[in-house]
């Protein structure tokens, strides 16, 4: 099978799962560059990369054999996959693993309901935090820091202007007369 065809199949599956290249690379435990090189068909995947691709795309370990045979790999969508797709911003924690253990979610509606139930059971669960919430906290902290820095700059600017006002007309800040 041509490398280009393998790369195209990987990209198509990633896009179907609505994963960014960065997220797929993270799930596969490869660099973002290595992931995109695979999608472009620049080199064949190593055995470790094949396992990573299988994990990232919910494909069986023999996915490359399926592609070589001209077949689409059998996909395995887990309850966790459905849960995360239906509840954006959530990530897998020990509490979530325990909550989903033994549950078979069959569609996105069931996964959304499970997300509502999970949030009711773990309303203050610090291990499951919305990524958006974390970003909002970081942005707020940065805004406070920028405001403090701007205030410090204004104070220093005012202080320098006051110091300049106190200098004699022909004196420079070094204290020597100008020529």
**What is residue 119's predicted lDDT score, i.e. its pLDDT?**
82
Nearest Cα neighbor of 121 from 138, 99, 101, 137 is: 99
- 42 and 64 both lie in a single domain: yes
**What is residue 86's predicted lDDT score, i.e. its pLDDT?**
79
**What is residue 179's predicted lDDT score, i.e. its pLDDT?**
47
Range(s) of the domain holding residue 49 = 3-68
**What is residue 16's predicted lDDT score, i.e. its pLDDT?**
76
- 84 and 138 both lie in a single domain: no
**What is residue 84's predicted lDDT score, i.e. its pLDDT?**
77
**What is residue 21's predicted lDDT score, i.e. its pLDDT?**
92
CA distances (Å), origin 9, targets 3, 21, 43, 76, 150: 10, 14, 14, 16, 51
The alpha carbon of 175 is separated from its chain's Cα centroid by a whole number of angstroms, namely 55
Residue 174 inside a domain? The answer is: no
Answer whether 59's CB lies under 8 Å from 46's CB: no
| Successive 10-residue mean pLDDT values, the chain, 179 residues | 87 83 92 95 91 85 83 71 76 75 78 86 59 62 78 86 71 53
DSSP one-letter code for 88 = T
- 14 and 50 both lie in a single domain: yes
- The verdict on pTM exceeding 0.75 is no
- 47 and 9 both lie in a single domain: yes
Widest Cα–Cα separation across the chain: 89
């Amino acid at each position: 099978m041509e490398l280009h065809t393998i790369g195209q199949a990987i990209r198509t599956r990633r896009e179907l799962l609505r994963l960014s290249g960065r997220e797929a690379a993270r799930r596969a435990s490869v660099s973002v560059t290595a992931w995109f090189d695979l999608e472009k068909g620049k080199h064949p995947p190593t055995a470790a990369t094949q396992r990573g691709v299988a994990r990232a795309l919910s494909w069986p370990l023999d996915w490359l054999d399926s592609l070589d045979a001209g077949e689409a790999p059998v996909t395995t969508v887990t309850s966790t996959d459905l849960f995360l797709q239906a509840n954006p911003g959530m990530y897998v924690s020990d509490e979530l693993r325990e909550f989903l253990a033994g549950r078979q979610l069959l569609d996105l509606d069931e996964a959304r309901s499970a997300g509502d139930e999970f949030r009711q059971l773990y309303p203050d669960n610090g291990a499951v935090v919305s990524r958006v919430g974390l970003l909002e906290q970081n942005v707020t902290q940065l805004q406070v820091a920028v405001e403090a820095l701007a205030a410090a700059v204004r104070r220093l600017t005012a202080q320098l202007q006051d110091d300049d006002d106190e200098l004699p007309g022909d004196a420079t800040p070094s204290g020597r007369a100008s020529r």
